[in-house]
Amino acid sequence: MSMDATELRELLHERAATATFEPLDPGSIISLAQIQHRRRQQTRAGAVLAGLVTAAVVTVLVVEAPKSERPASLIPATIAPQLTPSARLTPTLPAPSFAPLPKGWIAAPPGPLPVQDATGTRVGGKIVYWGGGDNGVGALPSYSTKGAVFDVTRRRWAAMAPSPLSGRTTMATAGSDGVYFVWGGYATGLGYFDDGALYDVVANSWKQVAPGPLGAQATVGAVWTGSEFVVVSGPGPHSGSAAAYNPATDSWRRLPDLPTTPASASLLLVSGRIVVFGAGASYVLSPDGASWSLIASPVNIDPATLTFASEGDYAYAVGTVASRPAPTPQPLSLQRFSFAAGSWDVRPSPPLPEVECYPTLAMSTKEVFLGYCGGNAVFNRAGQFWSSTSEAGKGRPVAIGSELVFYYPGADRTLIYTGP
Amino acid sequence: MSVAGDEGFRDFVVARSPHLLRTAYLLAGDRSSAEDLVQSALLRTYLAWDKVVNADDPWAYSLRILYTTSSHMHRRRRVKEQLGPAPEIASPEAAGVEERDELQRVLLDLPRKQRAVVVLRFYQDLSVEKTAEILGCSSGTVKSQTSKALAKLRNSPALQERIGRSAAK
């Protein structure tokens, strides 16, 4: 007895008819897609903070100093009295047992956060994870107002004091030596926010910041310049508008608008200069903050997958090559920028399979980490070569000095990649 | 995306998501996995909507995204899928329940590409060339995978019995 095509068709149609499906709600899919897109942009913004290596060293020295010599708060004294009374840091959780890890990986205690989408931001020698929403599908996501701080030096977690901000995701965040800055963000049902706060990692206390001039809309990101937190707006009624918040005076000043807001834009520091890289157009802010100048952009990368990270004098970009016709999976292209070169140069391609995916990029002082649909590889910056690593999985990397910290929300796992 | 683009996507979801869900149901084996798969695929479809609407065959493009999304989800849940999801049990009153479940079991036993070939060619009624385009492989690969899949399906005793009964009617 054999089976012909007609019989197989009948069986398949019968099987498919055993389940009745109603049309999905396009509105919820669009909302989720927009949230995911912003999350990816936010992940890139988190990696920007890898550029503050010098600041990290200073903070480690402060934190490691005898208690009597430590400042009560790293927020300037002019606004410190306004801070919410601090709560004691909660005891850290005992370290769980992990499977043996390969050389170059260290297991740390799991994080205490219930949230699944908290964004990691480097603040001196610590990483602050705050906010985020769950991955609810088909219903309004719920957002967390909780947060936790991972002390990279001591490999310990501590919970954060309650935040004065409502829960949100895709907010602009940045860290100074000891202060976490959060501005804007989005929550389904509430829209974009135009408020923000400072969190002092030493005093474990929050303070809301003065109202800003940017309005409630998407943000490209935020960076700490050494004296101000600079925020650039993303798509919205005032796309490309920029402002700087001074924590010492709790005041804002407007910066010139970007000439255009490029797709897949990232706000970064390169050689201490404020840069917005994007697809097709990239800009650097003049040292006096008076104007933006056009600089080179990566070439031949699909804007939808373009991802940036920076550290020190270099920025790297990765994304899928744009030249081949869709929908064939595209190979990845890695490119490097420095002001000394003034252009992007193509580096060796990552040794990862071609799939349709959004890459994740983070830079330590030694390596560039690339996450790509569960496949991971690290690029040695000095030797300019790739090697694969399997441990990172879907953890979100935050670079701090020469290390990369991977927090696995909801998976009770924290790993640190120290390199080979 | 523009407002017009959003409207086009909304129309697409309303009109085609049930069909995508049924296709995903055959690929994934159970209702829950099918809904997860289509939800993920439509998220990616929305993000690539400009490419979808400008493609020569937007429906084939959306099937392509469904297949690649299925591949990603397979990699992430490889261990779970190797154990094999339990097939959904239809209502006892439904005629041919056992044969349909047997078909699903045999489908799930097929390698993913062979399963996709069967679904695209014999459920979607797509040509060898269109199937090859969606799966990103050659026409020869589609033919060989079809041949191997049909051989396995023919070796299923329950399916042979079902076909035998059909032939006797």
Residue A16, chain B, CB below 8 Å: the answer is: yes
**Which residue among A2, A24, A373 places its CB closest to the CB of B13?**
A24
Q: Decide if A327 and B65 are in contact by the 8 Å CB cutoff.
A: yes
Q: What is the mean pLDDT of residues A273-281?
A: 94
Q: Does the ipTM surpass 0.90?
A: no
Taking 70 as the threshold, does the pLDDT of residue A268 lie above it? Answer: yes
Least confident of A188-202, A233-247, B4-18: B4-18
- For A16, nearest residue in chain B (alpha carbons): B22
Q: What is the pLDDT of residue A297?
A: 95
pLDDT in tens, A354-409: 766 678 899 999 999 988 776 788 899 998 998 877 665 556 789 999 899 988 76
Rounded to the nearest 5°, which phi and psi values hold at A262?
-70, 155
The first and second tokens of residue A60, run together, are 């480690």
Q: Which residues of A touch B37 (CB under 8 A)?
A: none
Q: Decide if A8 and B68 are in contact by the 8 Å CB cutoff.
A: no
What is chain A's mean pLDDT, rounded? 79
Report how far residue A403's alpha carbon sits from residue A45's, in angstroms, rounded to the nearest whole number.
Answer: 18
Q: What is the pLDDT of residue A49?
A: 42
Residue A357, chain B, CB below 8 Å: the answer is: yes
Q: Which residues of A touch B12 (CB under 8 A)?
A: 26
pLDDT in tens, A57-99: 333 333 333 444 433 334 443 333 333 333 333 333 333 334 5
Q: What is the pLDDT of residue A8?
A: 80
Handedness of CA B55, B51, B73, A307 (dihedral sign): positive
Q: What is the pLDDT of residue A353?
A: 74
Report how far residue B68's alpha carbon sits from residue B73's, in angstroms, rounded to the nearest whole number.
Answer: 9
Q: How many CB atoms lie within 10 A of CB A235?
A: 14
Handedness of CA B4, B5, B8, B14 (dihedral sign): negative
Q: What is the pLDDT of residue A42?
A: 57
Q: What percent of chain A has pLDDT over 90?
A: 39
Q: Decide if B163 and A374 are in contact by the 8 Å CB cutoff.
A: no
The first and second tokens of residue B123, run together, are 């459920």
Q: What is the pLDDT of residue A406?
A: 85
Give CA separation, A202 vs A38, A46, A63, A196, in Å.
30, 21, 8, 19
Taking 90 as the threshold, does the pLDDT of residue A286 lie above it? Answer: yes
Residue B68, chain A, CB below 8 Å: the answer is: yes
Q: Which residues of A touch B123 (CB under 8 A)?
A: 9, 12-13, 16
Q: Decide if B118 and A29 are in contact by the 8 Å CB cutoff.
A: no
The edge-to-edge listing of strands for the beta sheet with A179-183 is A172-175, A179-183, A196-200, A205-208
Q: Which residue has the higher pLDDT, A24 or A340?
A: A340
Taking 80 as the threshold, does the pLDDT of residue B144 lie above it? Answer: yes
Q: What is the mean pLDDT of residues A205-228?
A: 94
Q: Residue A260: CA atoms inside 13 Å, Cβ hemisphere, count?
A: 11
CA A53 distance to own-chain centroid: 17
Q: How many helices (H) and strands (E) does chain A have?
A: 3, 30
Q: Which residue has the higher pLDDT, B79 or B57?
A: B57
